[in-house]
Amino acid sequence: MAPSIRLSPAARSLFDEPLAIAVQGLGPRQQVTLRASLRDETGELFQAAARYQAGDDGQLDLARCPALPGGSFSGLEPMGLLWALQPRRPFWRLVKRDVQSPFVLQLEVLEGHGEPPGRLLAQAQHERAFLRDGVRRVPVRHGSIRATLFLPPGNGPFPGIIDLYGTGGGLPEYRACLLANYGFAVLALAYYGYEDLPREMKEFHLEYFEEAVNYMLQHKQVKGPGIGLLGISKGGDLCTSMASFLKGIAATALINGSVANVGAVLRYKDITIPPLGSSWKRIKVSKSGIADIVDALNNPLEGPDQQSFIPLEKAECRFLFIVGQDDHNWKSEFFAVEGSKRLQAHGKEKPEIICYPGAGHYIEPPFFPMCAASMHLLVGKPVTWGGEPKAHCEAQVDAWQQIQAFFHKHLTGKPSGTSSKL
């Protein structure tokens, strides 16, 4: 019997779902290299490879068989071929630009453990999709809002969430649509660097975000009385500001967010919050030219920088802080702890803080490979984001469950299944 790759689900799965990979028809204890590759929409190649030895029966199941040293990972890692994918091009991050098309994953079984490995024994293709059947993608150009709304199948109403990304700008949709697959109405909201929105991060007006909140609160398919906010990085401090000043927010989840306003002036009515100061002198640059910016920002508890601390004690919502303890973008754990202290000092409920050792800044939905370093728009050179690939991947899987459970609890009043803390 010729070797063949067996996948479950066979042809297509959602990107955030596990994929079972097995090889049958090998010789007893045969040594092989498994290689995974995919190209992003710009044509950049991502690859991972691992060395295995088949069982006495010629079977190889990645859920039961550990990878041997010498590849992209070792040990028992059923999803290692996906989370260990690395770009050929340095400082390149895997993102999904068009959520309506899947990523196509190529899997190959190659003979032996050589460098390069031997002849091709078997191959398979698998689609990693972003939209579950029936989920609707609705472009939103309403007033000044530039966004995309994802609605689950059916008439709803569904718990509503606004999703914000960081300083990369544009309109990333992939996290919003993956979340909509689980029964949420999710608005991916652009706020700069997109269509007719401001081209640069100079100043933001909270009225724009208020318009988006009201759009969701008035939508027939969005369940009231309040909506949720989900933000990563700069999107996190914008969500904190929205929760602090705007009505109708019931739950706010921050992924490596800041409790100080960062990078641009924030204005709302007659209120102005200046950006937290920083010093370029505190940036360390390695011999390879990669910057570590973790110490660049000033402390928002000291001197004039206290003006930048967002008054999150004004918020009438519940908070969840997701923290990568190896975040090298900024001090996420410090921000979460100070946010918690501020809330409790004003008699507010203690927020939930979930810390992940070994996780870096870009905590994405499950199975996105960790990006160790990439170009930073504001710094103008590649920066290190922190994280250790295996720990970071485990954090992404757990955080995704925690975020969904948090929103189910505070937007619908129903817990969703069981959630595990790492």
In contact, 51 and 70? CB cutoff 8 Å = yes
Longest dimension (CA), the chain: 75
Instruction: Examine the residue annotation and report whether 361 is marked as an active-site residue of this protein.
Output: yes
Number of H helices, E strands in the chain: 6, 24
Q: Burial, 294: exposed, middle or buried (Cβ in 10 Å; 0-12, 13-18, 19+)?
A: buried
Of 113, 126, 361, 408, catalytic: 361
Q: Burial, 234: exposed, middle or buried (Cβ in 10 Å; 0-12, 13-18, 19+)?
A: buried
β partners of residue 319: 252
349: closest CA among 390, 382, 313?
313
Of 163, 237, 327, 398, catalytic: 327
Kindly give, in sequence order, each residue whose CB lies less than 8 Å from that of residue 59, ignoring residues fewer than 6 positions away: 22, 23, 24, 26
Of 13, 72, 233, 340, catalytic: 233
E strands, 75-155, are 86-87, 103-111, 120-129, 136-142, 145-151
Q: Burial, 99: exposed, middle or buried (Cβ in 10 Å; 0-12, 13-18, 19+)?
A: buried
Instruction: Examine the residue annotation and report whether 113 is marked as an active-site residue of this protein.
Output: no
Sign for the CA dihedral angle at 174, 178, 181, 185 comes to negative
CA-to-CA separations, 134 to 126, 151, 284, in angstroms, rounded: 21, 9, 48
**Rounded CA gap, 110 and 180, in Å?**
38
Kindly give, in sequence order, each residue whose CB lies less than 8 Å from that of residue 361, ignoring residues fewer than 6 positions away: 233, 256, 324, 327, 328, 329, 330, 332, 385, 386, 387
Q: Enumerate the active-site residues.
A: 233, 327, 361
